[in-house]
Amino acid sequence: MSEGKEKVELLLQHSGLRRTQQRIDILSLLMERQKPMTITDLWKQLHKRIDRVTVYRTLNKLISGEVVCRLLDQHGTTFYKLADEPPLYRAHLFCSACKRSIPIDSFVISSNYLEALDQYEIHEVDISIQGKCESCKKRSAHASGQN
């Protein structure tokens, strides 16, 4: 079994989700691409095996199993990517240039803010920061002659 296929199997096993070919196909594609993909991107790659509605349903199931997460860019376009470790909250920078999503591990939410949410049942907090990653920022600065 290849390393990628083995990781997909483990993700499904740890999430408690059944192993289906659609889930394996979508997770394998997200793992292979290593960057967030839109529903259209996914469907274009999978349309010979999976219809668009099944892609949506499968993604929703993978999100509820905390295997995949949903991101929004500055234009409101939804992207999907493999979830990082499933914390209660996560922050990521969505690079407008290269379209990568970079987790920001050192991001901390004050306990005051979390306590203000005690009256709710919170499943996840996803903080999306829009901008340019370090590499794209350097390329932009270099292209414009700045250091």
pTM: 0.62
Domains of the chain by range and CATH?
Answer: 3-143 (1.10.10.10)
Helix (H) or strand (E) holding 6: helix 3-15
Picking from 96, 91, 103, 106, the residue whose alpha carbon sits closest to that of residue 132 is 96
Per residue in 74-102, pLDDT tens?
Answer: 777 888 988 865 455 667 888 889 988 88
| pLDDT, tens only, 39-60 | 999 999 998 888 989 999 999 9
Residue 120 burial (CB < 10 Å; 0-12/13-18/19+)? exposed
